Structure 1
């Protein structure tokens, strides 16, 4: 257990030195947990004293980083970037958004010009399902998108109306607006978090078949390359 702890804490220090504080904090916390297990299993008092000193030092640094991140959030300067590589897996909506959802989230804004085709409507539906499951207490979802310019307009509007009716059964209002000039893709929560995804909600690849792993579970679905930028602001702007 000592070697894994040392490896994780080494990464924590490297991230710390590179000012990648969010990643550094995660590694410090994981490394400290591993080191505590080593301490518990150690009988030698000299080694115990050494481990306690190390743990105390790392905990102090982790606490400083945590305070720094909180201050950045308060000042509206927080920024975290996630790069999703081509064909990688494990980036379901739950994995991407759950960290930023809590019981204070009651209102959500989605700006995405491509909630048009059937698979894009299903993407939006899955996103809504995630919100309904909690832990947030969403009451209103605002969607700003663009009209399908072809024959799919009727299908698009019908699909969104069906989602609206279904959300209504859960006490959630879906407010849909359309814009012909929308280009940006972003999702905002009223607790101050803003997530910008280069491809919007449509960053998953088409499954190879209807009975292939990843068809239902998006954590098993290969992704298309995109970048996710996460910000925190004192106040989330409204459209």
Structure 2
């Protein structure tokens, strides 16, 4: 027997409506991966509402809604799988100026799974202290995630003059720390690198206009967003997501 009372059921329904509305909006502009997440969230909430509802007319209404949304979600899954198989998948996410809610977990989590053992990071700006911290946070996310990570390949550019030793020591410290978790960090440098992209061994490739450095400087050490990047305002940038059968460059 469900423990959800009338108030809890109403709250669940109120939460489901915006999730499903957002799913339909994203679906309409072909942002399928994001819409699928919202569909799944809304469907889960409606299933809980259905379970707690006694009125048979309302139950029939919820069952139909759930069936319709599940049918669309399944169609999206098949569409994504087909595009992945054909190597044609492409999704674009636009991060607005001062937007929040775009931590590395939120941006990358949908593309990480237990099959990911290797990651390639090409970003010319892993040089200054805050950029080294960004890369460290990215590595932490990978280690905590569902993937069985073995190797990270970083290609970046050299910091000039006095910052060079700081960059070197910072990356070497991250390298030693990752080794404690069974992960090898291979570091390479290029003076001509300009592209910014992250590739996972499961076929996903993510290109971010600003690379990993798309967060704004926090207003202070004791301000919200200093530690939790979901609360940190962002610079305007674009995230392009692709899926290819072979991501490792030859």
Q: TM-score, normalised by structure 1?
A: 0.88
Structure 2: distance between partners of 1:3 and 1:166: 45
Structure 1: distance between partners of 2:143 and 2:23: 35
Say whether residues 1:144 and 2:183 are aligned partners: no
Deviation at 1:67, TM superposition (A): 1.0
Deviation at 1:175, TM superposition (A): 0.8
Q: Deviations over 1:77-96 (max 9, x none)?
A: 11222211111222211222
Q: 1:115 to 1:11 in 2, by over 3 A?
A: closer
Residue equivalent to 2:33:
22
Q: Deviations over 1:41-88 (max 9, x none)?
A: 444444433443343233222211211111111211112222111112
**Alignment of structure 1 residues 122-201 onto 2, 5 Å:** 122-201=133-212
Residue equivalent to 2:7:
none
1:74 to 80, 85, 88: 85
Farther-moved stretch of structure 1 (3-12 vs 131-140): 3-12
Q: Secondary structure at the match of 2:114?
A: coil
Q: 1:109 to 1:8 in 2, by over 3 A?
A: closer
Structure 2, unaligned runs of 5 or more? 1-9
Farther-moved stretch of structure 1 (157-166 vs 52-61): 52-61
Do 2:121 and 2:153's aligned partners in 1 also have CA atoms closer than 8 Å? yes
Farther-moved stretch of structure 1 (78-87 vs 55-64): 55-64
Structure 1: distance between partners of 2:44 and 2:176: 46
Q: TM-score, normalised by structure 2?
A: 0.85
CA RMSD, aligned part only? 2.2
Structure 1, unaligned runs of 5 or more? none
